[in-house]
């Protein structure tokens, strides 16, 4: 029994011993764990989120995963973040209060958040006081930056980075107007200055800004959307948070604004959060055809692995619509990367300053109290800030690197919502390529689907579907061919017609959409006269009394400051019209008009010169030019020369050189006489309208009165540019008044000139073309056009239609003949009168005179050389005491004849006598004695001539010389 008890005691003792050993082992393990935990320094980080919102719930889960996964990979770190999460409840005051609590009570070293820009704007000021980093991954307003506080860091992209992507869409589809719809918060207002400036650079106008409060009721949203429906613009840019943006699209769908013809663009904040698989079907179904921009998320192995882990993770606190999704969110990835960056920075600070011993000590003993805010100041904050700014790694959202306290720029992608799904269709604006503004199409990507399930891009502007009728003002003018307001039908509505009106009606036929309109004359209801000038009429558009002005309105620079003009449908310019002088045909000296005075003198000299040349060449060998006294020879020479003018010369020429000279000279005379005849015929048969006033300077110098078209801009042109005194200007309203004023002239109470636009003066001259003429230059203007409000998209459509009309020559010719049938009967008034002399001048015939002069001189020189060559021996030995020039002159002119001529003449005379004698001797009545007597007399006469010649040779050898066939002797 004793042994048995002893055995039980031994077993009990062994059990107790084993328990003690077990307990001791467990205590050693627990002590080890406690020692390991105690070796890591816990660093408190504050987090301020809107935990009631989807993004807040999602961000909290992403941060939780980031903490666990970061320290699982970095178990050797000596520091560890511990998050203290506060709920801001979407309230600015609650966010500020949470920040103060985290700074003072929990002594955090950094704060992540707040979630939106409104809250962050206040909290970053508190961070500056406490000198701790305020890190936001979701406050994207560009108005928040390090210029406000150096402790503010944005680990997401600010909204200004998406401006290029948005403008690229607008530019790609050629939209000229975009309506902005944004929320009235710091987030909504921050982007507007950037986007409007960017639109101005691509010539896109923002006609209206629709600002909505985040607390807007469904009625208020629908009311604002109805207002937008009444506008012409159909392109809307929505910049809102997810909560308000979702309601706007639902109500836009109900209002019929998600139909064909509309274009909707959402900014990154809305495009990133409104994922079709996250939001309710009602929201996504209302966004069919919407385009959105959002930062491009590069794919990586780490990201794909994270997607799998995110899919397996249960998220009961995010919300029913998010539990089943496997998709990730960019804001969540930014929150994830923020935790990693902060953990790396905290570890870096701990390594630099021995965080566990030095930083905590300084934090405990060196915090001072700010008397005004009760905020404690951290000495670790500035070091942590610098470490965070230097942190760089490859995160899930891309490369994490801060530039000036902001995440580095990224490329953007363009998404299209189709059948509740998103399709990425374009890329835009990659980083480091500032000049890249165009969209890059993704391979195999189709064109976007627009609202109304159409692939045709909206034009961006239409006439409102509410049935708005354009109120079109028309001028009242006396030039009824352009605009005619006719009240003769005795009705309350006038009949409006005219060239300008018909052009406008033809333009409307070519518009791509129907335009409702009504013409409203700009006139006094009582007098039926114009209510003001054309400038006054156009200004009614700016005053919104008219939606457009159609008529003979001139496009000039100062009017473009308050209206936009279409392309001109008619050319124009300001002309000066004056009275013509009396007809030239009443001048008794008109026969002298065809040739100028210098041509008359030159022609006379040419006749005399040619006559002298002919005499030089002929007088020694031709008795018709050499016989008689010197006066007789001169008269014969001049007669011969001037008779060639009418080809009446009867003298024969002997020398071949003379014939050569006359051939050229007669050709010159022929051209000269024909030109004179044509010019004189023109003067006598064609009206030559000479202006009474030649230019503007003459009007100013004489102080003449001038007229202009009443109510037009011409008055300002005359005063400001042409420097006329206002007291010298008189207004007139109709062509008849123009005629009366010009007929009277200034001295009788009229005017000496009328200034007006060319279309009006063409109409005026069509009726009075023989009495008035256009002089001076044309003062250029752009012509007639139609006017619309500044920035109206109708201008582009109307201008294109105007080109189609004005280039259709059949239509324009028909209108021209209908309204201006008499313009073609006058000479073209657009060619101002030439002020130069119409007479023919020497320059016109200079070539001919040069040719005949050269030929004549050349012929004379050849003749003189030949003369000297043949007669030089005789001339040199005859009268040696006389000079050579006097000897040549004495033997060449007047009193010396060529011996060959004398011999020919004497031979002709002898032959003539012999012929006559022989003939007489053969007569029937003549006796044989008489015939023999005459024959012997003729023989003795011939012998006498021979004897005389022989005698001369014997008596005076100096007076004879052999000249070939004939004997030359001085008479």
Residue by residue, DSSP assigns 800-816 as HHHHHHHT-HHHHHHHH
Q: Binning pLDDT at 50, 70 and 90, where does residue 7 land?
A: low
pLDDT of residue 22: 52
Lowest average pLDDT, out of 151-165, 226-240, 373-387, 878-892, goes to 878-892
Comparison of pLDDT for 330 and 354, the residue scoring more:
330
For the chain, what is the total number of helices (H) and then of strands (E)?
30, 30
Interior angle at CA 294, CA 290 and CA 297, nearest 5: 130
Chain centre distance of CA 288: 38
Identify whether the C-beta of residue 79 lies closer than 8 Å to the C-beta of residue 355.
Answer: yes
Section 66-88 average pLDDT: 91
* 470-572+787-819, CATH topology level: D-Maltodextrin-Binding Protein; domain 2 (3.40.190)
State the Cα–Cα distance between residues 716 and 574, nearest whole angstrom: 12
CATH of domain 159-298+408-428: 3.40.50.2300
* Cα Rg of the chain, angstroms: 56
Lowest average pLDDT, out of 208-222, 228-242, 329-343, 825-839, goes to 825-839
Identical fold at 470-572+787-819 and 576-581+689-781?
Answer: yes
State the Cα–Cα distance between residues 207 and 787, nearest whole angstrom: 18
Buried b vs exposed e over 835-857: b needs ≥16 C-beta within 10 Å?
eeeebbebeebeebbeebbebbe
Section 231-236 average pLDDT: 89
pLDDT digits (tens, 9 = 90+) for 118-135: 888 889 988 888 889 999
pLDDT of residue 212: 94
Lowest average pLDDT, out of 379-388, 462-471, 726-735, 762-771, goes to 462-471
Where residue 490 falls (left for φ over 0; alpha for ψ -120 to 50; beta otherwise) is left
Closest CA to 603 of 304, 265, 842, 924: 842
Section 376-389 average pLDDT: 87
pLDDT of residue 934: 41
Q: Binning pLDDT at 50, 70 and 90, where does residue 113 land?
A: confident
pLDDT above 60 (res 881): no
State the Cα–Cα distance between residues 939 and 937, nearest whole angstrom: 5
pLDDT above 60 (res 226): yes
- Token readout for 127 is 């961070």
Section 912-920 average pLDDT: 45
Q: Crossing angle, helix 758-768 and helix 735-744, to 10 degrees?
A: 70
Comparison of pLDDT for 899 and 183, the residue scoring more:
183
Identify whether the C-beta of residue 115 lies closer than 8 Å to the C-beta of residue 54.
Answer: no
State the Cα–Cα distance between residues 211 and 240, nearest whole angstrom: 10
pLDDT of residue 69: 92
Class of domain 576-581+689-781: alpha beta
Buried b vs exposed e over 820-833: b needs ≥16 C-beta within 10 Å?
beebeeeeebeebb
pLDDT above 80 (res 406): yes
The superfamily CATH assigns to domain 41-156+331-358+374-407 is: Response regulator (3.40.50.2300)
Strand, helix or coil at 87?
A: strand
Neighbours of 491 (CB within 10 A): 8
Buried b vs exposed e over 865-889: b needs ≥16 C-beta within 10 Å?
eebeeebeebbeeeeeeeeeeebbe
Q: Binning pLDDT at 50, 70 and 90, where does residue 819 land?
A: confident
Q: Binning pLDDT at 50, 70 and 90, where does residue 519 land?
A: very high
Measured between its terminal Cα atoms, the distance across the chain in Å is 209
Q: Which residues in 65-207 belong to E strands, given as ranges? A: 79-87, 111-112, 134-136, 152-154, 179-183
* Chain length of the chain: 971
State the Cα–Cα distance between residues 876 and 968, nearest whole angstrom: 16
pLDDT of residue 643: 78
pLDDT of residue 961: 36
Which residue ranges make up each domain of the chain? Answer: 41-156+331-358+374-407, 159-298+408-428, 470-572+787-819, 576-581+689-781, 589-677
Token pair 């609650």: residue:
94
SS (H, E, C) 400-421: EEEECCEECCCCEEEEEEECCE
Section 339-349 average pLDDT: 92
Q: Binning pLDDT at 50, 70 and 90, where does residue 586 land?
A: low
Section 4-18 average pLDDT: 56
pLDDT above 60 (res 437): no
Comparison of pLDDT for 539 and 946, the residue scoring more:
539
Q: Binning pLDDT at 50, 70 and 90, where does residue 835 land?
A: very low
- Token readout for 742 is 């010009």
pLDDT of residue 112: 94
Beta bridge partners of 439: 428
State the Cα–Cα distance between residues 807 and 817, nearest whole angstrom: 16
Section 71-100 average pLDDT: 90
pLDDT of residue 444: 53
pLDDT above 50 (res 35): no
Neighbours of 397 (CB within 10 A): 27
pLDDT of residue 799: 92
CA distances 223 to 210, 216, 227, 264, 763, Å, are 11, 11, 6, 18, 54
Write the burial class of residue 324 (CB in 10 Å: 0-12 exposed, 13-18 middle, 19+ buried).
Answer: exposed
Interior angle at CA 659, CA 657 and CA 664, nearest 5: 100
CA distances 273 to 65, 244, 407, 945, Å, are 20, 12, 19, 142
pLDDT of residue 550: 95
- Token readout for 634 is 């001169």
Comparison of pLDDT for 634 and 942, the residue scoring more:
634
pLDDT above 60 (res 3): no
Section 514-530 average pLDDT: 85
State the Cα–Cα distance between residues 609 and 601, nearest whole angstrom: 12
Token pair 């107007």: residue:
177
pLDDT digits (tens, 9 = 90+) for 923-956: 444 444 444 444 444 444 344 434 443 334 333 3
Write the burial class of residue 921 (CB in 10 Å: 0-12 exposed, 13-18 middle, 19+ buried).
Answer: middle
Section 535-564 average pLDDT: 91
Find all residues with CB under 8 Å of 511, minimum gap 6, and list them: 797, 798, 801
pLDDT of residue 152: 92
Section 497-508 average pLDDT: 92
pLDDT of residue 342: 94
Strand, helix or coil at 547?
A: coil
- Which run of H or of E encompasses 471? strand 470-474
Phi then psi for residue 676, to 5 deg, are -60, -45
Identify whether the C-beta of residue 737 lies closer than 8 Å to the C-beta of residue 750.
Answer: no
Lowest average pLDDT, out of 472-476, 512-516, 897-901, goes to 897-901
Q: Binning pLDDT at 50, 70 and 90, where does residue 729 land?
A: very high
Section 488-498 average pLDDT: 80
Starting at the edge strand found earlier in the chain, the sheet holding 152-154 runs 79-87, 41-49, 111-112, 134-136, 152-154, 406-407, 398-403, 392-395
Comparison of pLDDT for 530 and 593, the residue scoring more:
530
Identify whether the C-beta of residue 94 lies closer than 8 Å to the C-beta of residue 121.
Answer: no
Q: Within 13 Å and on the Cβ side, how many CA atoms surround 115? A: 27
pLDDT above 60 (res 960): no
What is the rounded (10 degree) CA torsion for 404, 408, 412, 417? -90
pLDDT of residue 788: 94
Comparison of pLDDT for 659 and 214, the residue scoring more:
214
pLDDT of residue 751: 92
Where residue 582 falls (left for φ over 0; alpha for ψ -120 to 50; beta otherwise) is beta
State the Cα–Cα distance between residues 502 and 482, nearest whole angstrom: 9
Q: Binning pLDDT at 50, 70 and 90, where does residue 378 land?
A: confident
- Token readout for 244 is 């308000």
Among 51-55, 104-108, 323-327, 501-505, which range has the highest average pLDDT?
Answer: 501-505
Section 583-598 average pLDDT: 71
Lowest average pLDDT, out of 475-479, 506-510, 588-592, goes to 588-592
**pLDDT above 90: percentage of residues in the chain:** 22
Strand, helix or coil at 180?
A: strand
pLDDT of residue 925: 45
pLDDT of residue 875: 56
pLDDT of residue 431: 63
Token pair 């003009």: residue:
565
pLDDT digits (tens, 9 = 90+) for 303-313: 999 988 888 77
Neighbours of 923 (CB within 10 A): 10
Identify whether the C-beta of residue 544 lies closer than 8 Å to the C-beta of residue 590.
Answer: no
Token pair 């720029």: residue:
409
State the Cα–Cα distance between residues 162 and 266, nearest whole angstrom: 11
Write the burial class of residue 7 (CB in 10 Å: 0-12 exposed, 13-18 middle, 19+ buried).
Answer: exposed
Section 72-100 average pLDDT: 90
pLDDT above 80 (res 558): yes
pLDDT of residue 55: 83
pLDDT of residue 393: 93
Average pLDDT, the chain: 77
pLDDT of residue 325: 41
pLDDT digits (tens, 9 = 90+) for 757-805: 888 888 788 777 778 888 888 888 888 999 999 878 788 889 999 999 9
Identify whether the C-beta of residue 611 lies closer than 8 Å to the C-beta of residue 640.
Answer: yes
Identify whether the C-beta of residue 887 lies closer than 8 Å to the C-beta of residue 875.
Answer: yes
pLDDT of residue 958: 37
Strand, helix or coil at 690?
A: coil
What DSSP line would sit under 638-669, residue for residue? HHHHHHTTTT--------HHHHHHHHHHHHHH
- Token readout for 774 is 């256009």
Comparison of pLDDT for 785 and 599, the residue scoring more:
785
Q: Crossing angle, helix 842-877 and helix 884-892, to 10 degrees?
A: 100
pLDDT of residue 320: 40
State the Cα–Cα distance between residues 469 and 104, nearest whole angstrom: 66
Identify whether the C-beta of residue 937 lies closer than 8 Å to the C-beta of residue 920.
Answer: no
pLDDT above 60 (res 906): no
pLDDT above 80 (res 350): no
């Amino acid at each position: 029994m004793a042994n048995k008890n002893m055995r039980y005691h031994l077993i009990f003792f062994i059990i107790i011993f084993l328990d003690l050993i077990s307990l001791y082992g467990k205590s050693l393990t627990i002590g080890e764990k406690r020692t390991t935990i105690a070796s890591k320094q816990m660093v408190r980080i504050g987090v301020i989120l809107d935990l009631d919102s989807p993004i807040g719930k999602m961000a909290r889960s992403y941060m939780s995963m980031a903490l666990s996964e970061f320290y699982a990979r970095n178990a050797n770190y000596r520091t560890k973040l511990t998050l203290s999460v506060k709920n801001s409840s979407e309230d600015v005051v609650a966010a500020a209060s949470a920040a103060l609590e985290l700074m003072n009570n929990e002594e955090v070293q950094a704060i992540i958040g707040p979630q939106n820009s409104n809250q962050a704007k206040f909290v970053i000021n508190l961070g500056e006081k406490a000198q701790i980093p305020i890190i936001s991954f979701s406050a994207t307003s560009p108005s928040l930056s390090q210029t406000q506080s150096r402790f503010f860091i944005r680990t997401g992209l600010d909204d200004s980075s998406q401006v290029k992507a948005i403008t690229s869409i607008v530019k790609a589809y050629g939209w000229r107007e975009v309506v902005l719809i944004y929320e009235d918060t710091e987030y909504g207002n921050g982007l507007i200055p950037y986007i409007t400036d960017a639109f101005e650079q691509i010539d896109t106008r923002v006609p209206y800004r629709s600002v909505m409060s985040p607390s807007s009721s469904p009625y208020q949203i629908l009311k604002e959307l109805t207002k937008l429906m009444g506008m012409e613009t159909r392109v809307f840019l929505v910049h809102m948070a997810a909560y308000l943006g979702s309601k706007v699209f639902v109500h836009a769908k109900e209002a019929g604004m998600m139909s064909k013809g509309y274009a909707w663009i959402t900014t990154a904040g809305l495009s990133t959060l409104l994922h079709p698989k996250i939001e309710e079907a009602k929201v996504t179904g209302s966004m069919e055809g919407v385009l959105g921009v959002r930062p491009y998320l590069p794919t990586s192995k780490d990201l794909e692995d994270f997607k799998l882990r995110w899919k397996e993770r249960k998220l009961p606190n995010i919300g029913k619509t998010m539990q089943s999704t496997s998709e990730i969110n960019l804001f969540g990835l930014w929150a994830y990367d923020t935790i990693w960056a902060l953990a790396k920075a905290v570890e870096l600070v701990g390594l630099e300053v021995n965080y566990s011993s030095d930083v905590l000590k300084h934090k405990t003993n060196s915090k001072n109290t700010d008397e005004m805010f009760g905020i404690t100041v951290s000495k670790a904050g500035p070091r942590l800030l610098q470490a965070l700014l230097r942190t760089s790694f490859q995160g899930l959202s891309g490369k994490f690197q801060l530039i000036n306290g902001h995440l580095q720029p990224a490329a953007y992608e363009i998404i299209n919502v189709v059948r509740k799904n998103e399709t990425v269709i374009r890329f835009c604006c990659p980083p480091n390529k500032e000049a890249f503004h165009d969209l890059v199409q993704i391979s195999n990507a189709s064109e976007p689907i627009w609202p109304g399930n159409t692939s045709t891009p909206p034009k961006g502007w239409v006439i409102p579907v509410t049935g708005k009728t354009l109120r079109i003002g028309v001028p009242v003018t006396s030039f009824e061919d352009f605009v005619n307001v006719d009240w003769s039908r005795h009705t309350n509505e006038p009949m409006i017609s005219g060239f300008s009106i018909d052009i406008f009606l033809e333009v409307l036929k070519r518009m791509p959409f129907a335009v409702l309109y009504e013409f409203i004359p700009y006139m006094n209801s009582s007098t039926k006269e114009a209510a003001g000038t054309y400038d006054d009429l156009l200004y009614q558009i700016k005053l919104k009394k008219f939606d457009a002005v159609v008529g003979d309105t001139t496009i000039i620079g100062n009017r473009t400051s308050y209206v936009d003009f279409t392309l001109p449908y008619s050319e124009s310019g300001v002309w000066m019209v004056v009275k013509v002088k009396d007809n030239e045909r009443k001048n008794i000296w008109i026969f002298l008009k065809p040739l100028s005075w210098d041509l008359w003198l030159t022609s006379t000299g040419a006749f005399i010169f040619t006559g002298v040349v002919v005499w030089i060449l002929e007088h020694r060998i031709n008795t018709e030019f050499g016989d008689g006294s010197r006066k007789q020879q001169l008269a014969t020479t001049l007669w011969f020369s001037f008779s060639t003018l009418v080809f009446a010369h009867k003298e024969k020429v002997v020398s071949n050189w003379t014939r050569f000279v006359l051939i050229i000279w007669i050709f010159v005379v022929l051209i000269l006489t024909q030109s004179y005849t044509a010019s004189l015929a023109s003067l006598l048969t064609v009206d030559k309208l000479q202006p009474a006033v030649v230019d503007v300077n003459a009007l100013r110098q004489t102080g003449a009165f001038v007229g202009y078209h009443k109510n037009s801009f011409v008055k300002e042109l005359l005063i400001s540019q042409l420097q006329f005194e206002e007291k010298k200007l008189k207004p007139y309203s109709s062509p008849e008044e123009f005629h009366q004023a010009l007929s009277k002239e200034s001295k009788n109470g009229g005017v000496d000139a009328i200034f007006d636009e060319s279309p009006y003066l063409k109409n005026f001259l069509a009726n009075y073309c023989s009495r008035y003429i256009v002089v001076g230059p044309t003062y250029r203007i752009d012509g007639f056009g139609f006017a619309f409000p500044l920035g109206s998209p109708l201008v582009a459509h109307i201008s294109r239609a105007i080109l189609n009309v004005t280039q259709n020559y059949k239509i324009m010719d028909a209108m021209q003949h209908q309204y201006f049938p008499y313009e073609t009967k006058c000479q073209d008034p657009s060619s101002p009168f030439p002020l130069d002399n119409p007479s023919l001048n020497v320059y016109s015939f200079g070539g001919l005179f040069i040719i005949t002069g050269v030929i004549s001189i050349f012929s004379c020189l050849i003749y003189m050389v030949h003369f000297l060559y043949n007669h030089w021996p005789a001339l040199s030995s005859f009268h040696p005491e006389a000079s050579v020039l006097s000897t040549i002159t004495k033997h060449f002119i007047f009193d010396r004849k060529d011996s060959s001529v004398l011999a020919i003449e004497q031979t002709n005379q002898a032959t003539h006598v012999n012929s006559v004698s022989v003939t007489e001797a053969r007569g029937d009545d003549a006796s044989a004695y008489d015939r023999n007597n005459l024959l012997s007399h003729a023989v003795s006469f011939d012998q006498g001539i021979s004897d005389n010649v022989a005698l001369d040779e014997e008596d005076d050898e100096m007076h004879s010389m052999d000249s070939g066939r004939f004997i030359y002797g001085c008479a």
